[in-house]
Amino acid sequence: MKCRVINKAAPFESTDLQKEFNGNSFYHEFFGGQPRSVIAAPLFNRNGKVLGVISAVDDRPDRFSAHSKNDFREFIFLVSSAIENCFIHREVTLREARNRDVIEKFANASNEDDAISAFVEETCQQISHAEHYILHRFLPNTEKLIPV
């Protein structure tokens, strides 16, 4: 059932799990017995990729009202947003740390050659798909670029 939700990226609902699966579902492994009602829906990231599945179950058949299904959808949105915000926070934190390292490289450059070397190294890391890098120096008095 979770595979169905993940593969189709669509919610799943059963008003009587025992009838639908002849009692052959995995939910009994997580609960005291086999629940009868279940709703499950995928959690999406900002790119639309399925991160996981959230399920709500009840021991009685036909237990989820239209109101509870609405609440469940809102809850899923909040959980997806919270997970995505955690990923974004991690990305921003890593990017800030990386930027601090880059700034430190330039600040520690003792001369222009060291700064150019740090710049080329950083460019290679940031644009790793480029085959060649050419750094030009701008000469303000002639307004020309010369390769460094």
Residue 16 tokens read as: 């009587």
Q: What percentage of the chain has pLDDT greater than the value 70?
A: 78
Residue 129 tokens read as: 């798909």
Q: How far is 138 from 143, CA to CA, in rounded Å?
A: 7
pLDDT digits over 52-61, tens only? 888 888 888 8
pLDDT for the residue numbered 98: 84
| CB contact burial 88-97 (16+ within 10 A = b; e otherwise) | eeeeeeeeee
pLDDT for the residue numbered 7: 56
Q: How far is 136 from 99, CA to CA, in rounded Å?
A: 23
pLDDT digits over 96-130, tens only? 988 888 888 888 888 888 888 888 788 777 787 76
Residue 99 tokens read as: 């930027």
pLDDT for the residue numbered 45: 83
